Chain A
Amino acid sequence: MATLPHDDLYQLVREPIDTAALARHVRAPEDGATVTFDGFVRNQSHNRPTLHLDYEAYESMALAKMREIGVQLHEKYSIHRVAMVHRLGRLGIGDTSIFIAVSAPHRAAAFDACRFAIDTLKRTVPIWKKEYFEDGAVWADGELPPAPAATPRAKPAS
C-alpha cells in the first residue's frame, strides 16, 4: 500500500474528539483552506427520540480502511493533510462521532476530498452503531460494503 504523509492522522478513540485541535493540526502555512466534517449524534431517528448510540468497530480493519481512504484522497485530490477520527463506545446526543479535516492549497480540492472521505467511510469502514430508544434498541440500517464477487481464477489459456 502506498504510504501516507507522516503528519496525517487516522484514529479510533473512546474519548470526546477535540475537533478544534484536529482542524488546527492539518493547517500549514502553504495551505489556503481547511474543510472539516463534523458528524454528531442526532436526537431522533425516524421520528423516534434517541437516548444514545453505541458504536463498535472491527478496530484493526477499520483503521486499515480509514488509512486506505487517506491514500485515495492523496491520489485523487491536490490536498495537504488529512485528519480522520472516529469515536467508539457510548455517545450522547450532540457528541461528535466522526470528524474529518482536510487541508489544501485551494478550497475545491479540500471540499471534494472531505466529501469523498465521509461518503467512502460510510460505505467501507467496518463500524456499527446501535440506536437506543425509550422502548428498545436497534442496529442502525447500514450499507453493505462492496466485496469481491468471487475469488480470481487463473486466466484460461487463450
Chain B
Amino acid sequence: MLQPVPLAPSSSAGYNSPVPPVSQTIRVTVLFFGRLKELTGRAEHSIEFADATTIEQLFALYATRHPELAKYRSSVVASRNQEFAAWDTPLRSGDEVAFLPPVSGG
C-alpha cells in the first residue's frame, strides 16, 4: 500500500494523486486555425509534458518557439475538447486544445 505523498501546503491542486507523480506525462493534441496556423506552420501538433500545465502555459510554450504568436495572445480564445475554455484550465492527457483567432464565419 502506497503512503500518501506529502503535498505542499496548498489546496489549489484540487486532487490528491494516489501515486507519486514521477512519470505522469500528459499528452495533448493542439490545433491552430486561421492566421495562427499560418504563423506556426502547422494545423495540428501532438505534445507531451511531464508536469501539470494550463492552456496559458501551453500557449506560452508555442510563443517561445514562434515569438510572433505572443502579440496575438489578447485576440485569441482557447477551447478544450471543443468547448471554449478559460486560460487557467489545467490540461489532462488526451485533451484536444485549439487556439482560435476571432471568428469570421457567415
Contact = CB atoms under 8 A, between A and B. Distances in A.
A98 B34 contact: no
Interface in B1-50: 14, 31, 33-35
A3 interface: no
23 contacts: A56-B33, A57-B105, A58-B33, A60-B82, A61-B82, A86-B105, A98-B106, A123-B103, A124-B103, A128-B34, A128-B105, A130-B34, A139-B34, A139-B35, A142-B103, A147-B78, A147-B85, A147-B86, A149-B86, A151-B85, A151-B86, A151-B88, A151-B89
A122 B34 CA distance: 15
B101 A139 contact: yes
A57 B104 CA distance: 10
Q: How large is the interface on A (under 10, 10 to 19, 20 to 34, 35 or more residues)?
A: 35 or more
Given A61-B98, A151-B89, A145 B84 contact: yes
A146 B33 CA distance: 17
A129 interface: yes
B77 interface: yes
Contacts, number: 95
Given A147-B79, A147-B86, 19 more contacts: A58-B31, A58-B79, A58-B82, A58-B98, A58-B100, A60-B82, A121-B105, A126-B79, A127-B105, A128-B33, A128-B104, A129-B105, A140-B104, A144-B102, A145-B77, A145-B84, A147-B77, A148-B84, A150-B88
Nearest to A98: B106
Interface residues of B, number: 25
Interface in A102-158: 118, 121-130, 139-151, 154
